[in-house]
């Protein structure tokens, strides 16, 4: 039976997007999970041979809005909030870098240590690949990979990892919805546009069942 790795974006997908960088407002900052986050992860936890990992780009570091400690504090808080609802996350990965292009458009100095073309940074598949190896002890090409997120970079990272992606629209990033619709015309079998987080989990469960059925019928031949 195949191992299943599900990556979930953090900001705007699991954690409510406030339009600011989570963790940038000091210890009194209050965090709230997105609607359906707990139930989504609980559903995913039922998939046999699976691991669920948070996969997050943290561009706020390069912008000087927050530090690594703040990112880790928010990560731990999200994990705890999920655990209070009996939903469990097996790994948390974040990329601390921004691309040169991003730095240029945001006026970030290119000598800033967070500016780097990093293979971890979504839309690259680095973090998903690491999660397969570390959490499932399986090479990525032998894993069934899914990525859930609210931005086109999330969706693209799932595809670049050789997996499938579920887009869950957030109210903040309207332009991404248009981009995803265009991508869906080409990769219609690899991208699902879910109405909410629970819909995202239900689609993945169905898709895993479908690929297991295929695996079994292939063995019977």
Q: Which range binds Zn ion by CB under 5 A, 39-47, 91-99, 132-140, 178-186?
A: 91-99
Residue 97 binds which one of Mg ion, Zn ion, none, with CB within 5 to 8 A depending on kind? Zn ion
3-state secondary structure of 88: coil
Residue 187 CA neighbour count, 13 Å, CB half: 20
**Contact flag: residue 12 with Mg ion (CB under 5 A):** yes
Closer of 5 and 95 to Zn ion (Cβ): 95
Residue 158: which of Mg ion, Zn ion, none does it interact with, CB under 5 to 8 A by kind?
A: none
> Per the omega criterion (within 30 degrees of 0), is the bond before 123 cis?
yes
Residues 6+ apart with CB under 8 A from 129: 140, 161
Nearest residue (CB) to Mg ion, 136 versus 191: 191
Selection from Mg ion, Zn ion, none that 120 binds (CB < 5 to 8 A by kind) is Zn ion
176 binds, among Mg ion, Zn ion, none (CB under 5 to 8 A by kind): none
9 binds Mg ion (CB under 5 A): yes
Q: Does 212 bind Zn ion (CB under 5 A)?
A: no
Within 10 A of 119 (CB to CB), how many other CB atoms are there? 13
CA atoms of 197 and 199, how far apart (whole Å): 5
In the list 11, 70, 96, 176, the residue contacting Mg ion (rule: CB under 5 A) is 11
DSSP label at 15?
B
Which residues pair with residue 11 across a beta bridge? Answer: 15
Closest CA to 11 of 162, 212, 153: 153
Q: Which listed range, 7-15, 45-53, 118-126, 131-139, lies at the site for Mg ion (CB under 5 A)?
A: 7-15
Q: How many angstroms separate the CA atoms of 6 and 149, rounded?
A: 11
Q: Which residues bind Zn ion (CB under 5 A)?
A: 95, 97, 118, 120
Q: Which residues bind Mg ion (CB under 5 A)?
A: 9, 11-12, 150-151
């Amino acid at each position: 039976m195949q191992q299943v790795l599900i990556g979930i974006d953090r900001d705007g997908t699991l954690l409510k997007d406030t339009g600011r960088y989570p963790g940038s407002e000091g210890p009194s900052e209050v965090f709230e999970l997105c609607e359906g986050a707990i139930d989504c992860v609980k559903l995913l936890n039922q998939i046999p041979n699976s691991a669920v990992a948070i996969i997050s780009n943290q561009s706020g570091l390069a912008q000087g809005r927050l530090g690594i400690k703040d990112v880790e504090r928010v990560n731990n808080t999200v994990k705890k909030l999920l655990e209070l609802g009996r939903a469990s996350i097996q790994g948390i990965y974040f990329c601390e870098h921004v691309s040169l292009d991003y730095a240029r458009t945001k006026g970030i100095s290119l000598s800033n240590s967070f500016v780097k073309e990093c293979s971890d940074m979504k839309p690259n598949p680095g973090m998903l690949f690491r999660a397969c190896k570390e959490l499932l002890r399986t090479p990525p090409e032998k894993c069934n990979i899914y990525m859930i997120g609210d931005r086109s970079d999330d969706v693209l990272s799932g595809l670049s990892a050789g997996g499938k992606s579920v887009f869950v629209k957030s109210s903040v990033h309207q332009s991404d919805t248009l981009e995803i619709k265009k991508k869906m015309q080409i990769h219609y079998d690899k991208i699902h546009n879910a109405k909410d987080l629970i819909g995202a989990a239900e689609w993945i469960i169905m898709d895993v069942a479908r690929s297991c059925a295929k695996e079994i019928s292939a063995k019977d031949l």
